[in-house]
Amino acid sequence: MTRFAGKVVIVTGGASGIGRAAAIRFAQEGATVFVADLNLAGAQAVASEIGAAAHAVHVDVASMASNQAMVDAVMAAAGRLDVAFLNAGYYGDADGLDTVDEALFDRLIAINLKGTFNGIKAVQPVIADGGAVVVTASAAGVIGHPANPAYSAAKHGIVGLVKSCVTAFAERGARINTICPGGVLTPLIGVPDVAIVPPGDLARVPLRGMGGAQHVAEVALWLASPAAGFINGQAQVVDAALLSTFAPVMLPVGP
């Protein structure tokens, strides 16, 4: 398939995990891809893995100036921007409210929420008519996450931010949506990246199971494609039904 033939795509957080999978898949579907990451060497490795259709660019999403420099570099090199997958994020080391201090809270907000705001602000003035923005939030953006309340707060903020920016993008003929993944096997949780497979060969994820980076990437591609032209301002949960029902209740055993 060549759903993105002739299109120009930015993927932030593209050096690993969901971003890497999406960058590879956008390129396989015909796009010119700019792999953006704070880890420039990692972005360069992914661009090399893809080949001539990909370019690496440095970005610190917490910096507005860095986001603007990223977009300026894309426009200078390619002359247009059709899709932005604003995927960069950070979880941090947290295990309950008492482990989240002010410094970690500030960093989580700066990278996840402010970083999304910076990316949206940078791409909106140049996004092409018919273009699309997809933002990675989290299942923790629609339900609480006791292990990391600051992360959950930032991801809730992303959902509200995306919904609030629909009009600004519609004025340019573009759409914006967010993805809310459940558990995903990526380097963020210590699982190495794996080879990309034909989409039809992706394994079905068991009920409430852990998905792979490519499972989420395929949803990002679909949301960015004309096939999702009726979807705008939505938070698409991708979680193997993790949030669809009450959690199983363990009944007491014995008298």
Catalytic residues: 151
| Exposed/middle/buried for residue 182 (C-beta within 10 Å: 0-12, 13-18, 19+) | buried
Q: Measuring CA to CA, how many Å separate 180 from each of 74, 175, 183?
A: 27, 17, 10
Q: What is the C-alpha to C-alpha distance for residues 196 and 128, in angstroms, rounded to an integer?
A: 28
Residue-wise burial string across 206-229, b where 16 or more C-beta atoms lie within 10 A, e elsewhere: eebebbbbbbbbbbbbebbbeebe
Contact call for residues 150 and 192 (beta carbons, < 8 A): no
187 contacts 17 by C-beta, under 8 angstroms: yes
